[in-house]
Chains A and B, each alone.
Chain A
């Protein structure tokens, strides 16, 4: 798994890297970029942008995994998924407000570490509730589910506004995550982003173990491949739905927790990432982990690099057009289950 990831990463870097050397167009700074606006491009900036793309891709991956699972399992897209990210972020914020004084101050970082699993649980619980109270009543009506969950998202956003206020709030990052690592002179890899990549790697590894090494994960894969047969074999398919949905939502919560490191958080935090995450699901294909991983990294890196080479807006258009063109060639995504 890890070896594969590294392979993908290197490849993605190269793919984006080679044509860019020729380019000397001015760089527009993207939302994922940490560097200041500058004219021209150097190798170091390129590398650090590629690194930023990778880190954006890894956050996307965390968000998309939940979407891809619930889509593969129930053929529903949860439009409130972005709000689960927001829930994770606000959980982190709330914990810092409450616990930090007792646990070594805001920059000690202990509360932040604690808040990651708590964010997972909070968002996961919410997801479980949503699945049980709404989504299962719309089973077999994917488009209606989409609209209903959008409504849930609106309510959650407004709830956040009511509780925390409309302006953004800031979570203080742990002190030991400030600064960065410089493998080359001029190339600075911020610790925060390295931490996020590490966190995503841990989550993906955990998901892999869950899917392929646990009984519960095996049941989930069975239901994904054939719901009827899995049901007749005694698997409680509805319970699998609920658990899967909860896990997926929990991952979005973790993503929200991670995003507090990058910038301020607000009620519409999730909406910035969710459309890209949907594209990851479309591009990656349904039901296989590698497809989602590859798609998330590709979209993350392409987004950052294309924006870098052209401009933020044209870059986005190009990514979209590339996805549409790709789907002409492989309508079922990068990796898809094939059945008779």
Chain B
């Protein structure tokens, strides 16, 4: 096992009813890296996140987190406790809990079960207050999460992750469906959140990618097509082929 890799996937394969979604994929992330993951629809991006968070078991291959944790033998909540956080593509918040209550859950996940019946510690309350400030929802702390606007829900999700303090953060299309203003604010939040941790972002919005990305990995048909700085990747003929070839198919 290489030192200095927070995540190391080797020859991961996943298939559904015989259809290969990931095909012997190798993928790794360094500590404190910000990586973007792009690729046409059906390339296996979300499935890759599912593998890393333990949602989907891999058919074959090895997935190591932090140099020692074998991902495939852990359940989702254990991986989350070990420091893998995930934001889903569509915001999924608990509709009838208030913003404050949601963050309360996010902040307390490492507590012993016995503490679930006691009040939060002072530093946990402080953490919630700070998070509320950061995501700009202090005034909506008592609002049920279900009636927040789409953008606010996304920020609440990011706030949940901030409170959770993960080592490895996975973001699935964080700016999808956002207005320009909301997108800029999300970008700022992302930069704040990616300090001192590894972040993997799946994104379709190329403008957003160009704005924030440094290292980019391109997935295509369950395999890694190429990897490198964003300018290089954009000019790679295979990438152009994958995207345009796809468009041609659609047009036909």
User: Measuring CB to CB, which residues of chain A are less than 8 angstroms from any residue of chain B?
Assistant: 338-340
Closest residue of chain A to B17 (Cβ to Cβ) is A338
Interface mask (B6-29 → A, CB under 8 Å = 1, otherwise 0): 000000000011000100000000
Task: Give the dominant DSSP class at B's interface.
Answer: mixed
Give every chain B residue within 8 A of A339 (Cβ-Cβ): 16
Residue B154 lies at the interface, judged by CB distance under 8 Å to chain A: no
Closest residue of chain B to A339 (Cβ to Cβ) is B16
Residue B72 lies at the interface, judged by CB distance under 8 Å to chain A: no
Taken together as a complex, chains A and B put the C-alpha atoms of A339 and B21 apart, in Å, by 11
Taken together as a complex, chains A and B put the C-alpha atoms of A228 and B21 apart, in Å, by 22
Residues of B within 8 A of A (CB-CB), count? 6
Q: Nearest Cβ distance between residue B96 and chain A, in whole angstroms?
A: 15
Q: Nearest Cβ distance between residue B57 and chain A, in whole angstroms?
A: 12
Q: Nearest Cβ distance between residue A174 and chain B, in whole angstroms?
A: 46
Q: Nearest Cβ distance between residue A211 and chain B, in whole angstroms?
A: 18
Q: Nearest Cβ distance between residue A146 and chain B, in whole angstroms?
A: 21
Residue B47 lies at the interface, judged by CB distance under 8 Å to chain A: yes
Taken together as a complex, chains A and B put the C-alpha atoms of A338 and B56 apart, in Å, by 11
Find the residue from B17, B21, B46, B47 having the highest chain A CB count within 10 A. Answer: B17
Q: Nearest Cβ distance between residue A324 and chain B, in whole angstroms?
A: 20
Taken together as a complex, chains A and B put the C-alpha atoms of A192 and B56 apart, in Å, by 49
Give every chain B residue within 8 A of A340 (Cβ-Cβ): 16, 21, 46-47, 56
Closest residue of chain A to B44 (Cβ to Cβ) is A340
Give every chain A residue within 8 A of B46 (Cβ-Cβ): 340
Taken together as a complex, chains A and B put the C-alpha atoms of A72 and B47 apart, in Å, by 24
Give every chain B residue within 8 A of A338 (Cβ-Cβ): 16-17
Q: Nearest Cβ distance between residue A229 and chain B, in whole angstroms?
A: 14
Taken together as a complex, chains A and B put the C-alpha atoms of A340 and B47 apart, in Å, by 8
Taken together as a complex, chains A and B put the C-alpha atoms of A339 and B16 apart, in Å, by 6
Q: Nearest Cβ distance between residue B55 and chain A, in whole angstroms?
A: 10
Closest residue of chain A to B46 (Cβ to Cβ) is A340
Closest residue of chain B to A337 (Cβ to Cβ) is B17
Interface pairs A-B: 5 shortest CB-CB: A340-B16, A338-B16, A338-B17, A340-B47, A339-B16
Taken together as a complex, chains A and B put the C-alpha atoms of A339 and B55 apart, in Å, by 13
Interface mask (B46-62 → A, CB under 8 Å = 1, otherwise 0): 11000000001000000
A-B contact pairs, 8 of them (CB 8 A): A338-B16, A338-B17, A339-B16, A340-B16, A340-B21, A340-B46, A340-B47, A340-B56
Taken together as a complex, chains A and B put the C-alpha atoms of A340 and B46 apart, in Å, by 9
Taken together as a complex, chains A and B put the C-alpha atoms of A339 and B18 apart, in Å, by 11
Q: Nearest Cβ distance between residue A188 and chain B, in whole angstroms?
A: 46
Q: Nearest Cβ distance between residue B7 and chain A, in whole angstroms?
A: 21
Q: Nearest Cβ distance between residue A290 and chain B, in whole angstroms?
A: 15
Additional pairs, 6, CB under 8 Å, beyond known A340-B46, A340-B47 = A338-B16, A338-B17, A339-B16, A340-B16, A340-B21, A340-B56
Give every chain A residue within 8 A of B56 (Cβ-Cβ): 340
Give every chain A residue within 8 A of B16 (Cβ-Cβ): 338-340
Give every chain A residue within 8 A of B17 (Cβ-Cβ): 338
Give every chain A residue within 8 A of B47 (Cβ-Cβ): 340
Taken together as a complex, chains A and B put the C-alpha atoms of A339 and B14 apart, in Å, by 12
Taken together as a complex, chains A and B put the C-alpha atoms of A339 and B15 apart, in Å, by 10
Taken together as a complex, chains A and B put the C-alpha atoms of A195 and B49 apart, in Å, by 54
Chain B 162-218 interface residues, beta-carbon cutoff 8 Å to A: none
Interface mask (B111-143 → A, CB under 8 Å = 1, otherwise 0): 000000000000000000000000000000000
Interface mask (B220-239 → A, CB under 8 Å = 1, otherwise 0): 00000000000000000000
Q: Nearest Cβ distance between residue A95 and chain B, in whole angstroms?
A: 46
Taken together as a complex, chains A and B put the C-alpha atoms of A339 and B50 apart, in Å, by 13
Taken together as a complex, chains A and B put the C-alpha atoms of A338 and B46 apart, in Å, by 16
Q: Nearest Cβ distance between residue B219 and chain A, in whole angstroms?
A: 14
Taken together as a complex, chains A and B put the C-alpha atoms of A142 and B17 apart, in Å, by 28
Taken together as a complex, chains A and B put the C-alpha atoms of A29 and B17 apart, in Å, by 45
Q: Nearest Cβ distance between residue B45 and chain A, in whole angstroms?
A: 12
Taken together as a complex, chains A and B put the C-alpha atoms of A339 and B47 apart, in Å, by 11
Q: Nearest Cβ distance between residue A340 and chain B, in whole angstroms?
A: 5
Taken together as a complex, chains A and B put the C-alpha atoms of A305 and B51 apart, in Å, by 43
Q: Nearest Cβ distance between residue A281 and chain B, in whole angstroms?
A: 22
